[in-house]
Amino acid sequence: MRRVFTGNSASSGMALGRVRLERPARFSIDNTPLPDAEIEAEVARLERAFAIAREDMSTLRRKLHGALAREVGEFIDAHALLLDDPELIEGLRAMIRKGHYRATAALKAQRDRLVAVFDAMDDPYLRSRGEDVDHVIARVQSALARQASSEEKKLATRVGEILVTESVAPGELAHMASHGILAVVAGSGSPYSHSAILARSLHLPMLVNADGVLEDLRDGDLALVDGVRGEVVVHPTAQDLAQFRNWQREALRDGQRLAQLAGSETHTRDGHKLHIFANAERPEDIERARTLGVAGIGLYRTEFLFLAQSGLPNEDEQFTAYRDLVLGAGGLPVTIRTLDLGADKADAAGLVMASEPNPALGVRGVRLSLRHPDVFVTQLRAILRASCYGPVRILVPMITNASDIVEVRRLLEECARDLRTAGHEIPDQFELGAMVEVPAAALNVRALLEVTDFLAIGSNDLTQYVLAADRNNDQLGKLYEPAHPAVLRLLAHVIARARGAGKRVCLCGEIAGDPAFAPVLVALGLEEFSMLPDRILGARDALAHCDRKTLRALAPRLLRARDSDEIAALIASVQSAS
């Protein structure tokens, strides 16, 4: 019997396949006491499972490149640390040897204990880390099952499946996508989570907040996922299947039509020119962006240089990377963001820091750089040396006060003097900008504009700070909403102040490349958008369908809206009338 379930679209597209239902407790747990004679063999079986899980993580890490490595890498690294945690492993060994637990039962008991500890924490960021424990324990349980049976391996390698689950970690999603998963339907989550971003990069249809799917769907059910309408049709009819075939034909035509937009300029329907930039961190990102006709590199993340090796990169190593980046851009302007790490990643980059209860609100971005001036000066010198090979802008993250920028500019000018004295060719002038991602920076943007040459809005962090909602906490998926009136009012305030001061402002967050968000940003007066290369053609197409004059006239009503539903209705009314 045909049934339809609704959810929020996190990644567009359609897929037809058999349901693969994954619940957290899908593994068989044997609670019978372990005989003395089997204890050491069971310990060895557990240790093999950990080794298999570590190898799985290592293999996945090696396969990921570019945007996937950035979005998934931090989760893989966090899970790898848990797999190497001596307290976790020793605790499991003790449960087997002293408590006569079987490995599966010991893992479940440890999982329940650790998750209870995280759930009891006051800090929401730390509470959300309990999900990491769930994912790691599930990975080891899976490795145990694979030792006992080939069924799990067969399940993972089957093609034509729709994954239906409560939530999925980015590392798991990348692994499953490489083994034939066609789409994902999650009972919770946010369209702006790392998993959703990854699904879009993989062109994998995904729905989140799909109520009832875990209770009502069964393994093997035929399901049609519609990532455009936000629907899952179980036991689709002949009419549904015909619609799916029509979508496939239209998707092929759309792909061919979008390909023709590569290399062209970006204009709204009423002829207003807009500028699309690319977010990048690898040479292949730069090459791809240039073929698509970008106006420049709007955000180059430098963290990869620090996380890709053991120890801190020296000045020459950084200079070589930045020089190659600038040369690869072929004369287009390049915005290099200085190091944006916090306590949760600093150790991996060779910076020893005390652990923090909430790294998202801790010593990160410029706060970290100014506390380690030797590391910061090394990076600034390398960027300045590379700036003689093409136009370079320097962007500073996590700015809260104008005094932060004043101090960075002082260091920059000092570095420039020293480099010129040493005989290096350094441009007479360089552009210095601030990342607006802290609400205080947005509200006090007038002071920032007095000491900066340009601004870049980091809408991902700005949204989660304004709404106090971690976009990767599945329980808060419905709360993390960039179209919230408070977020839009801050965006409008920053854009208007920058335009009034004659300064450039670019938006670098996920919504910059979201076709559905394009009319909102045009209405707010944004003219510069920076996004991952994979989003450029779709965004250019969406912007070309916007009538800027009509949307700008709508801005006052948008900014008076009481909720995101009213905002969506206003935009829909304009689109239907055009």
Q: Return the active site residues.
A: 194, 508
**Residue 128 has which token pair?**
């959300």
Integer Cα distance of 144 and 149 in angstroms? 9
Integer Cα distance of 327 and 297 in angstroms? 12
Measured CA distances, 191 to 173, 197, 201, 214, 578 (Å): 15, 8, 13, 19, 27
Which amino acid is residue 541, in one-letter code? D
Residues 20 and 181: beta-carbon distance below 8 Å = yes
Residue with tokens 């109520």: 211
Of 176, 209, 199, give the one whose Cα is nearest residue 11.
Answer: 199
183: which strand partners? 162
Residue with tokens 């899908």: 26
314 burial via Cβ count (<10 Å: 0-12, 13-18, 19+) = exposed
Integer Cα distance of 501 and 453 in angstroms? 10
Integer Cα distance of 520 and 546 in angstroms? 10
For 206-223, letters b (16+ CB in 10 Å) and e give bbbbbeebbeebeeebeb
User: What is the dihedral sign for C-alpha 111, 112, 113, 115?
Assistant: positive
